[in-house]
Amino acid sequence: MLALSGKTALVTGASGGLGRAIALALHASGAVVSLSGTRQDTLEALAAELATNVHVLPCDLSHKEAVEALVPAAEAAMGGIDILVNNAGVTKDNLFMRMKDEEWDTVLSVNLTAAFRLSRACLKGMLKKRSGRIIGISSVVGVTGNPGQGNYAASKAGMIGMYKSLAAEVASRNVTVNCVAPGFIESPMTDVLDDKQKAAILARVPMGRLGTGAEVAAAVVFLAGPGAAYVTGQTLHVNGGMAMI
Amino acid sequence: MSDVAERVKKIVIEHLGVDADKVVNNANFIEDLGADSLDTVELVMAFEEEFSVEIPDDAAETIVTVGDAIKFLEKTTAA
């Protein structure tokens, strides 16, 4: 019997590197997973890899109607949602003075508003069941800030405040709500950096290396599992020591 | 007691874990029956399910006593 046997999980942004790692880890721990994301072929490939206990639910989180249809679709596919992982996120970096309203709106809409709507939709089932885990993938920059990422940092800080509030609201119903805040993680985004850029990043990380998706996923599995039953309203930082908060 | 009233009271007794004799028409969920604000949301969800109706948020806000719930659901299910 695995830690998450019999549990069902919806993971957004599963066509990205981190979402993939999270989906793999939840699945390896025994959960049935619904993969949501924008790139259907990537989701299908991941589903083929997992073979069983997996559902593919493509969704563009920048569209309100699509967001609202996602939770009912996942509940129908899996018979309910025990674990919601709001992992989907986009960046539209720009210096504050040059940032367009659209760049702000897109990032807030996908990273924060969609997480709000999906969480709200999941609550009905979780409250009724008197159990549930909501996990948001925030970011170290939501706590430290980062030049060029006013919109992204706001969305990630917003997620932390939103989830602390929700955690307080639903704790009495045995639903826990937490964030995982990754630091610099290996991804297609970091793969394209040149050596000088990489060195500059690593100079800020006491551990001297980038993190892996699996290391972030392990934190998600912990928060989703029975061992974290008494952990709520927290932000678990997975950043190699680059910010000790 | 009407069928609706009976079903409403049963839900309230079960959900809030209160004595049946306290669940009277003028009992206020929060003040008299010890419900918290989340309980009131959950009660509305339970009524929706029991009676297969949708209770819009503005109507839900007017349901503060057992009698309010019975009245609303009698009206809605009769329509």
- Name every chain B residue with its beta carbon within 8 A of the beta carbon of A124: 45
* CA terminus-to-terminus distance, chain B: 20
Is residue A192 pLDDT above 90, yes or no? no
- Model confidence at A78, in pLDDT bands (50, 70, 90)? very high
B14-70 per-position pLDDT tens digit: 999 999 999 999 999 999 999 999 999 999 999 999 999 999 999 999 999 999 999
Which site among B45, B55, B57 would you substitute to test the A interface, given the most A Cβ atoms closer than 10 Å to its Cβ?
A: B45
pLDDT at A165: 98
Is residue A37 pLDDT above 70, yes or no? yes
List strand residue ranges (DSSP E) for chain A, in order. Answer: 8-11, 32-35, 54-56, 83-86, 132-137, 175-182, 235-238
Average pLDDT over residues A90-115: 97
Neighbours of A147 (CB within 10 A): 10
Contact assignment for B45 to A169 by CB distance below 8 Å: no
Q: Which of these is catalytic: B3, B19, B32, B36?
A: B36
How far off is chain A from B48, nearest CA to CA, in Å?
Answer: 12
How far off is chain A from B66, nearest CA to CA, in Å?
Answer: 21
B3 has catalytic annotation? no
For A123, which residue in chain B has the nearest alpha carbon? B42
Which site among B11, B41, B44 would you substitute to test the A interface, given the most A Cβ atoms closer than 10 Å to its Cβ?
A: B41
Contact assignment for B36 to A128 by CB distance below 8 Å: no
- Model confidence at A75, in pLDDT bands (50, 70, 90)? very high
Task: Tell me the longest C-alpha to C-alpha distance in chain B.
Answer: 32
- Model confidence at B1, in pLDDT bands (50, 70, 90)? low
A98-107 per-position pLDDT tens digit: 999 999 999 9
Q: Residue A112 in contact with residue A209, Cβ under 8 Å? A: no
- Closest in B36, B38, B45 to A124, CB measured: B45
Handedness of CA B50, A67, A121, B67 (dihedral sign): negative
pLDDT at A205: 96
pLDDT at A153: 97
Q: What is the mean pLDDT of chain A?
A: 96
Average pLDDT over residues A150-178: 98
pLDDT at B79: 65
Q: Is B50 on the interface with A (CB under 8 A)?
A: no
- Name every chain B residue with its beta carbon within 8 A of the beta carbon of A172: 36, 38
Q: Which of these is catalytic: A152, A163, A184, A222?
A: A152
pLDDT at B33: 97
pLDDT at B70: 96
The single-letter DSSP state of residue B65 is: B
pLDDT at A89: 95
Average pLDDT over residues A88-106: 96
Percent of chain A with pLDDT over 90: 94
Q: Within 13 A of A209's CA, how many CA atoms are on the CB side?
A: 4
Q: Within 13 A of A231's CA, how many CA atoms are on the CB side?
A: 19
How far off is chain A from B37, nearest CA to CA, in Å?
Answer: 9
- Name every chain A residue with its beta carbon within 8 A of the beta carbon of B42: 127-128
Please give the single-letter amino acid code of residue B33.
Answer: L
Which site among B11, B42, B57 would you substitute to test the A interface, given the most A Cβ atoms closer than 10 Å to its Cβ?
A: B42
For A126, which residue in chain B has the nearest alpha carbon? B42
Question: Between A and B, how many residue pairs show a Cβ–Cβ distance under 8 A?
Answer: 11
The single-letter DSSP state of residue A132 is: E
Predicted complex ipTM exceeds 0.90: no
